Structure 1
């Protein structure tokens, strides 16, 4: 209520400030609901300052610090109230009446033209997002300081503002947003609850909507891992992603260099992409700054092949534009990405060594993502290759590439592999006969993507990858037998002229009569290329470039 005979001081916005308001209201924000986030964040800032003051000074206050939101459907007013530090008359003028204070006007011009502003948390900017939806805004505020008066600031965001003394029973601030037409959704409780849950679930103060407390959870990434139990992590996971199947495992860490951040990253138990429930472009990592959501699906925060990871990242070093909506400095994001990617690969490597059963379960669901990384991430492909698992001729239980090398023959100069439908068909393949005879292991591949993995790696720890169905898998000459069987060889060449490249006596066959050997491209890669529609490269039905090896 306004005091009787109180003088109302009216101020006009300067032309420059009107221009700034136009930018803030029409250009700076892309989502009208952002004003709720901004007002809640400002209220939380005021409460945090009040909490600090209570710790350092005797204020005589013991009431609970909280945020109250009221929704007046009849008068179409959205109100938010806090019992924080409040503002004096001069602070109202400074914080709300002079948007261009401290050079903000110049920065806002950069936002509009170059989108490279690096400010966040300026009350006079986030506050003005309310005018996207408001015909008029009233701010009633009383400073926590002794004998302070209460003041009311009023503006339509166009012509100017007024300040007058008023009555207010406690320190803090009330902001009343008189909504424009077509913005009535912001006085619908369910809509406001959705916005609060999306952007402000981790505000460390109670938030009430029409006197009913909203569901919020602690920002557990800001706590020490020693303070949390497994159940805390699982509850948080369910809250964030509405996934009630428990994650396989998770990592919780903080770092100060090369950038300050707190993070919790989850490794799900199920690959939802295989069911078509998630797209390959979707990110499940949310980016926060000081517990306020900045980007719910941060696409660039992890490489695409790690898109199965779910998590939250909070960094106070984020260079944001003044609307808190756009990340500005790509070099900082790249630093964050490098830190997170290295951490994930390291954790997976440790899990593989220390908890083989759990890693194998994870690998069964998500191996294709690891393989995608090997085939696409040139910088980290060898580290990712250490995470690969394959069955082999000698091992029904999956082994790593390092284990294969550790047990290879002393004079062996290659890592041999063969692609096929299943273990039985590969074990009985004629291509295995020489390897069985020589007691040489061969990796078994059942997925087409493995061909790209081997082709992209080319070598691993100085050993080249060689498909067992190519000529490179056997360089042993059999000249004497070819002389003995010259007549047979010539007859086959004549009979199959134009259909095969050459005929040779096989040194690798022991039981099978014949087999086709590719000169360069493995049969597995040919099938992959054919499936991709590269008929010019895939020649499954064209054997004119292959050699027929016979076992006379």
Structure 2
């Protein structure tokens, strides 16, 4: 029963203080670390048993037991794992950053190396080449090697590697007692005790004290006064469910099992039913509607990880009030490291829900370090490539299902235009309504397949809605020629096409920017309304007079008035002097926080019946009040089609005057 005192070796009290108060910013993490250590200890026993090695107390169940003692403010975390001998207690707990798990894995690797034939050993030159490969740019598309589910698991399931997680317990503990019996040693129990201030004691249990002490490790945590919240059962249960819910061994809290859901992403795909996938989705997201699709894969190279992602069957809003709640949950060997990790998915897949579990990150990595981690970025790129491949196959093989996904989540996929690396793969996934099929989405591939001979551009019209797009004054001439036009009704649509620039060597172009004569080479469709006769030489001065009169009446409401220089069928249209489309101009004004109606150029269409009527009225007298009302009404209507409203009360009064006059003229005609 002799007790010996030891100093922490190789590290100072200052280092211990840094580890327990700076490395971990969230005190509840201490339980996650202890449970991970316990899981490792159990995994080691399971590995030894599966390899035929003898262990002490083989009848013990592999489990973790947590009990609370509120009277004495003590938490006990016990496992039936590998345990430690006296020397291992000194080595593993007496030296910060020494990992028993790391030593265990090294021993297993040494055994494998000893059993491998000499001719299979890797040459020194190849090893050097492997080191150089690590220096490759993370943007390089390395081959993805998916995991073979038929291969049995090995000791790589062990979590801890760096030996510092245990010391997080001193964030909440004023004293810690560790009682341990090795599964492979002499069976003598020892107690390691420390207050975390620089030294520890080792005591051997003998006689009655040693009776009934079985294989494994029991940690008694004497809580600090400010940490008594952790003796509450609901608090501990919440921490377990949040961080350690998917550990492979049962966690009993005061006699009740807490973790009852399996880590489904770790299971072979062929063994999982659709019902199991759906149940796990509901458990993960609290969404009672079944997901539209499941993407489940395991990768061994360029990094090792498991991924289980879902496409929700309901709309997801992560750009507004829930802008911080997207990205899959990141696990390291079944232990939650970060919820909603945005580094793992690009924003255009923000609607995806799920988990990612990797072998290649340390358990104690901080949130700040995660944002700069090369391994994490490689995982994110691999996931992105896998998802793009999945959506490409889905769009090709099951277009109806993909259209359903697009209706729910297309507003996110569109943002793939911002990815220089993958925008060429995102473009075929885009879907739009068009003049060719207004009730069904079309892809860019479908549009190209329907293009007219000698058609070079992919035409589009951008508006706030389908209804607004259909009455765009530039659209009629394209209908006359049978040229398909895409309807862009989302503010991001035009940005996306401008960023992509072209598709299959066909540039994107707005109908508003079509040059004069751009459509002349295409014949009119059958049953097209006949074109009016061009203006005669006598009528051309009348058009000039009308333009001058309109300019005088509208004044500084317009920058200029001129005859239409582009194909339109409406009486008039507004043109930006900067050469941008009306929808793009609106977005720019919103970003610049500019109010009011922009001063634009009014173009009059001399082929329109209304304009020709105004020419005749103007010829009789431009000072006529009714003529002025008609000009202002034309401008009001053109503004409305452009998305603006000019003095609604004056507009209403003017409309009523014109209606009274028109009604009087019409009633006189019918007499």
- What is the Cα deviation at residue 433 of structure 1? 2.1
Q: 1:161 corresponds to which residue?
A: 200
Matched positions, count: 525
- What is the Cα deviation at residue 75 of structure 1? 0.4
- What is the Cα deviation at residue 486 of structure 1? 2.5
- What is the Cα deviation at residue 549 of structure 1? 3.0
Q: 1:503 corresponds to which residue?
A: 562
Find out whether 1:527 has 2:586 as its counterpart.
yes
Work out which of the residue numbers 413, 420, 428 in structure 2 matches 1:378: 420
Find out whether 1:348 has 2:416 as its counterpart.
no
Work out which of the residue numbers 508, 519, 522 in structure 2 matches 1:465: 508
In 1: Cα distance, 2:2 partner to 2:466 partner = 89
Q: 2:545 corresponds to which residue?
A: 491
Q: 2:429 corresponds to which residue?
A: 387
In 2: Cα distance, 1:201 partner to 1:488 partner = 82
- What is the Cα deviation at residue 193 of structure 1? 0.6
- What is the Cα deviation at residue 450 of structure 1? 1.6
> Helix, strand or coil: the match of 1:217?
coil
Q: Is the 8 A contact 1:505 1:549 kept in 2?
A: yes
Closer/same/farther in 2, CA of residues 419 and 265 from structure 1, 3 Å limit = same
- What is the Cα deviation at residue 412 of structure 1? 0.7
Q: 1:3 corresponds to which residue?
A: none
Work out which of the residue numbers 4, 17, 20 in structure 1 matches 2:15: 20
- What is the Cα deviation at residue 67 of structure 1? 0.3
Q: 2:492 corresponds to which residue?
A: 449
Work out which of the residue numbers 340, 345, 351 in structure 2 matches 1:297: 340
Q: Is the 8 A contact 1:47 1:82 kept in 2?
A: yes
In 2: Cα distance, 1:311 partner to 1:383 partner = 23
In 2: Cα distance, 1:324 partner to 1:53 partner = 35
- What is the Cα deviation at residue 245 of structure 1? 2.0
In 1: Cα distance, 2:483 partner to 2:368 partner = 58
In 1: Cα distance, 2:381 partner to 2:190 partner = 49
> Helix, strand or coil: the match of 1:282?
coil
In 1: Cα distance, 2:326 partner to 2:318 partner = 15
Tell me the alpha carbon deviations over residues 126-172 of structure 1, each in whole angstroms, 9 at most, x when there is no partner: 11111111111000001112642010111111141111111152110
- What is the Cα deviation at residue 501 of structure 1? 4.0
Closer/same/farther in 2, CA of residues 500 and 127 from structure 1, 3 Å limit = closer
Closer/same/farther in 2, CA of residues 184 and 229 from structure 1, 3 Å limit = same
Find out whether 1:255 has 2:299 as its counterpart.
yes
Q: 1:548 corresponds to which residue?
A: 604
Work out which of the residue numbers 203, 213, 218 in structure 1 matches 2:257: 213
Structure 1 portions without partners, runs of 5+:
1-5, 103-119
- What is the Cα deviation at residue 472 of structure 1? 3.6
Q: 1:106 corresponds to which residue?
A: none
Find out whether 1:88 has 2:85 as its counterpart.
yes
Q: How does 1:36-435 map to 2 (within 5 A)?
A: 36-55=31-50, 56-59=52-55, 61-99=58-96, 101=98, 121-122=160-161, 124-145=163-184, 147-166=186-205, 167=210, 168-273=212-317, 278-318=321-361, 326-327=369-370, 330-374=373-417, 376-396=418-438, 397-435=440-478
> Helix, strand or coil: the match of 1:175?
strand
Closer/same/farther in 2, CA of residues 324 and 372 from structure 1, 3 Å limit = closer
Closer/same/farther in 2, CA of residues 379 and 550 from structure 1, 3 Å limit = farther
Q: 1:475 corresponds to which residue?
A: 518
Tell me the alpha carbon deviations over residues 190-210 of structure 1, each in whole angstroms, 9 at most, x when there is no partner: 110111011111111110001
In 2: Cα distance, 1:325 partner to 1:515 partner = 53
> Helix, strand or coil: the match of 1:317?
coil
Q: 1:109 corresponds to which residue?
A: none
TM-score calculated relative to the size of structure 1? 0.88
> Helix, strand or coil: the match of 2:497?
helix
Higher mean alpha-carbon deviation, 172-181 vs 332-341, is at 332-341
Q: 1:113 corresponds to which residue?
A: none
- What is the Cα deviation at residue 534 of structure 1? 5.0
Tell me the alpha carbon deviations over residues 438-476 of structure 1, each in whole angstroms, 9 at most, x when there is no partner: 111111122222222222222222112111123447536
Q: Is the 8 A contact 1:138 1:176 kept in 2?
A: yes
Tell me the alpha carbon deviations over residues 42-96 of structure 1, each in whole angstroms, 9 at most, x when there is no partner: 0000000011111222446133110000111110001001111111111110011
In 1: Cα distance, 2:393 partner to 2:367 partner = 37
- What is the Cα deviation at residue 515 of structure 1? 3.5
In 2: Cα distance, 1:224 partner to 1:216 partner = 19
In 2: Cα distance, 1:476 partner to 1:392 partner = 18
Q: Is the 8 A contact 1:517 1:549 kept in 2?
A: no
In 1: Cα distance, 2:318 partner to 2:11 partner = 55
Q: Is the 8 A contact 1:482 1:505 kept in 2?
A: no
- What is the Cα deviation at residue 283 of structure 1? 2.2
In 2: Cα distance, 1:143 partner to 1:530 partner = 72
Q: Is the 8 A contact 1:458 1:464 kept in 2?
A: yes
When Rg is computed on C-alpha atoms for both structures, the one with the higher figure is: 2
Q: Is the 8 A contact 1:321 1:327 kept in 2?
A: no
In 2: Cα distance, 1:495 partner to 1:423 partner = 35
Q: Is the 8 A contact 1:284 1:309 kept in 2?
A: yes
In 1: Cα distance, 2:365 partner to 2:514 partner = 63
Higher mean alpha-carbon deviation, 453-462 vs 219-228, is at 453-462
Closer/same/farther in 2, CA of residues 223 and 425 from structure 1, 3 Å limit = same
Q: Is the 8 A contact 1:481 1:505 kept in 2?
A: no
Q: Is the 8 A contact 2:477 2:568 kept in 1?
A: yes
> Helix, strand or coil: the match of 1:550?
coil
